Chains A and B, each alone.
Chain A
Amino acid sequence: MKKPLHLVGEVCFYLIIFAILFVYLFPLIWQFSTSLKTMDEVFRGFSLIPNKPIWENYTISLRDFNVGRYLLNTILVAGLITLGQVLSCSMAGYAFAKLRFPGRDFIFFLYLGTMMIPATVTLIPTYVIVLELGWVDSLAGLVIPFFFGNAFGTFLIRQFLQGVPRDLEEAAEIDGAGYFVIWSRVMLPMAKPALATLAVMTLVQQWNSLVWPLIVTQADTWKVLSVGLAAFRLFRTIQWNTMMAAVVMATLPMIVILFLAQRFFIQGIQFSGLNR
């Protein structure tokens, strides 16, 4: 007797959830819809599905608005930084979790102490360093300041590796393995979930980051997507359709990666939000 009522309740529940999600994500649906319209259609008002999808908006945006260049730069910069951070943080995380050396706890304490300091504080001095090195408008200027990782990444890997039982290392040591081999053959495979979490969190953060690339690139050569797109606002007449095409190209890669690596994103958020 109770079953049908229960079923109705269930269906209602999912209807509500997906209705909320539809409204919540509607701005992104609208963005995609606009990116496929002609300018006439854009101004004609409310219609979700374009008469005939204009994919040329994407090629126009890539070519005429330099988005192709920005996209390549963004891939290069975000990719290199992610690579460097994962490598450097996994090395340091291993040392802080497993090796004993004088000053270890003090250094780690310093790391944690600076995690609270707003990024703006280091902005100007870092810019001065990059300026002195002649790295303004260069790949090095965009990448090097973030390449060696940060306290968050090292903290994440350390916490994870601390949970790895000692016997594994000892077994490797008995086999005559050195520290480098233990790190690369024992620790890295064990730490795969933590490494993936760090990688996706870093990738998204760097792909989307605005402030640093904004101050360190003036010429178009090394501009990334965020900087290039932000300049669109200043155009006298805005072509909303090609602009939305550029916007889709800036967001879609990270959304695809989100769906491919859901678990690691959730873990990353939980780590940054639940760790005290």
Chain B
Amino acid sequence: MARMSQKRKREAIAGYLFITPNLFGFLVFQLIPIAVAIVLGFTEWDLINEPIWVGFSNYRNLLKDPVFQLSVRKTLYFVLVNVPVQSALALLIAILLNRSIRFKNLIRTLFIVPWVSMAVAVGLTWTWIYNSQFGLLNEILVKVGLDKIPWLAHPDWAMISVIVVNIWQFLGFHIIIFLAGLQMIPREVEEAAIVDGASTLTRCFRITLPLISPVLFYDLIVNVIGTFQIFDLPYAMTGGGPGQATRVYNLYLYQKGFQFLRMGEASAMAVMLFIIIGITTAFFFRVVGRRVNYDLT
């Protein structure tokens, strides 16, 4: 008995030693910063003078700030266009690819090439393609007899142009996930439906979609959470402009914190982003989550 507990003790010590580096990083660069961010949100601080406690006034000021309101609207717009279009396109291609095919690995890999490419580089490439004067897109438009479009140069067009690039860049990522989901559907189910004489469309809506709804649902949530935090592409392509046309949430947060040095307000913004994401996720679980079919997983 004494030897047993001796062994347990050694095991516990080994356990703590093995997690030490990881836990150190987690505490110093994750857990403590989260706590500090919440505290900083209640202060006014420019990194130089001592922070001043201001209570909830950062939050009150932000809610009244027209640029903040604009950045929330811009971000919501980004999410609401990006997520449905991206999911629908990815699902369509995944269904197309979901059969025994040759070059399967090659095809899947080619679809995730944009995903492994640096967002800044992708953004610059598209800035060139979108170029009003010499860009490829306007070149094509002129060739087919249409007018040039000021893709990134005009406030009415800039946002949708950036969203298109985002949809393009992450499409392959979602294709891979949906394909994996589709392949979890047992062959017999599909075959039984074919025997029963169900048409392709019926099979798609009555069998395929309900059966992969857990995968769809999870992907949707991850996508919404990720898109709320969009930064790299608009930073590289427009910097928030023209005017404030593409000033999404995290761009404004970056500006507040690291250009205006208002660390308190920027921290409050970060905490608010977390709250917004939390509310949205909860909403999704309540409204959409109920219809998800978990029978098969």
Contacts and interface: CB of A to CB of B under 8 A. Distances in A.
A21 B113 CA distance: 11
A240 B75 CA distance: 30
A149 B181 CA distance: 29
A114 B22 CA distance: 14
A126 B171 CA distance: 32
A66 interface: no
B120 interface: yes
- Which of A13, A34, A95, A262 has most chain B Cβ within 10 Å? A95
Contact of B118 (A94, A146, A178, A207): A207
- Which of B26, B107, B232 has most chain A Cβ within 10 Å? B26
- Which of B8, B32, B112, B219 has most chain A Cβ within 10 Å? B112
Contacts of A247: 121, 124-125
A129 B28 contact: yes
Given A117-B34, A122-B34, A211-B231, A91 B125 contact: no
A7 B143 CA distance: 36
A215 B111 contact: no
Interface residues of A, number: 94
Interface in B198-229: 214-215, 218-219, 222, 225, 228-229
Interface of B: 8, 10-16, 18-19, 21-26, 28-34, 36-37, 40, 47, 93, 96-97, 101-103, 105, 107-114, 116-122, 124-129, 131, 134, 136, 139-140, 143, 168, 171, 173-174, 176-177, 180-181, 214-215, 218-219, 222, 225, 228-229, 231-232, 235-237, 239, 250, 253-254, 257-258, 263, 266-267, 270-271, 273-274, 277-278, 281
15 contacts: A17-B96, A27-B129, A114-B31, A118-B229, A122-B34, A125-B36, A126-B33, A129-B29, A151-B26, A179-B14, A183-B18, A230-B235, A232-B124, A269-B177, A274-B181
Interface of A: 13-14, 16-17, 20-21, 24-25, 27-28, 30-31, 34, 42-43, 45-46, 87-89, 91-92, 94-96, 99-102, 104, 107, 110-111, 114, 116-126, 128-129, 131, 145-151, 154, 178-180, 183, 204, 207-208, 210-211, 214-215, 225-226, 229-230, 232-233, 240, 243-244, 247, 250-251, 254-255, 257-259, 262-263, 265-266, 269-270, 272-274, 276
